[in-house]
Amino acid sequence: MTLYRPIDIARELKISTSALRHYESWGLVPEPERGDNGYRLYTEVHLAYFRCLRALFFGFGSDVARTVLHHIQKQEMDAAFWVVNHQQSLLYEEKVTADHTLKLLENMELPSIQQTKLKKYMRIGEVADFTGVNPSAIRHWEKEGLFTSVRNPENGYRLFTPTHVRKILLIHTLRNTVYFLDHMKEYVDAIEQQSVGQAKRVTENAVLQINERLRKQVTGIYELVALCRQLELM
């Protein structure tokens, strides 16, 4: 049986020996035996655990990696695979959404509004009637920082301008595609400024990131399969 010192594992995975001890303290790796000198003695099983752990971290994040390895330690292989399968399905949904957003941006037309029909300042109910957007959605989008309404100094009511109305129409158009709100304001501002190209670049960058995450997730699954075979679970 091949035995490894902590430094051997650390060098192969390009991490520190303290990181190995850290992973052990989480209970994610079987406790190793000790040599006569008190040093940890790792086996091929430990190496497979560490490889899998690192790959899962990069592909799925620490919470998912912990959940998966806890299942493996209980010999619950199918449960572990369903966890990563669910994460893959979420990533696929992101990819579909990003692709839909790109198609939308390629044929984007700014919402047309007749400003002569709109008052300089409107109450939220008036905006909701004009745009067909529920007032609760308008309040939520403002809370998320997508725009900032004006407040009536006398009663504190929200007041909206024609510019707000167009932004609300844009968000309403994009909401089923750009569901990651951290990018939504960038999309709305770019399109409002006639810079659809900038919005497209944001989406194209998101697709690149999604593809990179996919590759890392596949690597994590590969190492998970290798670990299961090392443990004779499959």
pLDDT in tens, 205-233: 778 888 999 999 999 999 999 999 999 99
Average pLDDT, the chain: 83
Bridge-based pairing state of the strands 40-41 and 33-34: antiparallel
pLDDT, tens only, 7-60:
888 888 888 888 888 888 888 888 888 877 878 888 999 999 999 999 999 999
The pLDDT of residue 206 is 76
Higher pLDDT, residue 227 or 166: 227
CA angle, residues 117, 119, 124, in degrees to nearest 5? 110
Tell me the C-alpha distance between 208 and 218, whole Å. 16
3-state secondary structure of 37: coil
Tell me the C-alpha distance between 217 and 11, whole Å. 23
Phi and psi (nearest 5°) for 99?
Answer: -65, -40
Single pTM value for the model: 0.69
